[in-house]
């Protein structure tokens, strides 16, 4: 039974190698995207983390910064 599932009438090596290749590709894509996100968040915090209150109010009103701040808060929860 298990042998039949693994071999799949001779197509098993092709199917399983394609499955593992796809799984590996998705995992590496996820990790690279996650690392890039963390890098960009660090750059953002370095740039805007030490602003005074007046500049913080201006930054928070900008649309792109609102999206970044929203995503930063969500990922830390």
pLDDT tens profile 2-53: 888 888 989 999 999 999 999 999 999 999 999 999 999 898 888 877 777 7
| Helices 63-76, 12-48: crossing angle, 10 deg rounding | 120
- Give 55's pLDDT tier (boundaries 50, 70, 90): confident
Q: Which of 67, 19, 14, 21 is nearest to 40 (CA)?
A: 67
């Amino acid at each position: 039974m298990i042998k039949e599932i693994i071999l799949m009438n001779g197509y098993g090596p092709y199917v399983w190698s394609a499955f593992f290749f796809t799984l590996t590709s998705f995992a590496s894509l996820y990790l690279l995207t996650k690392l890039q996100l963390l890098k960009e968040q660090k750059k953002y915090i370095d740039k805007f983390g030490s602003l005074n209150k007046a500049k913080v109010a201006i930054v928070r009103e900008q649309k792109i910064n609102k999206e970044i701040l929203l995503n930063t808060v969500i990922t830390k929860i």
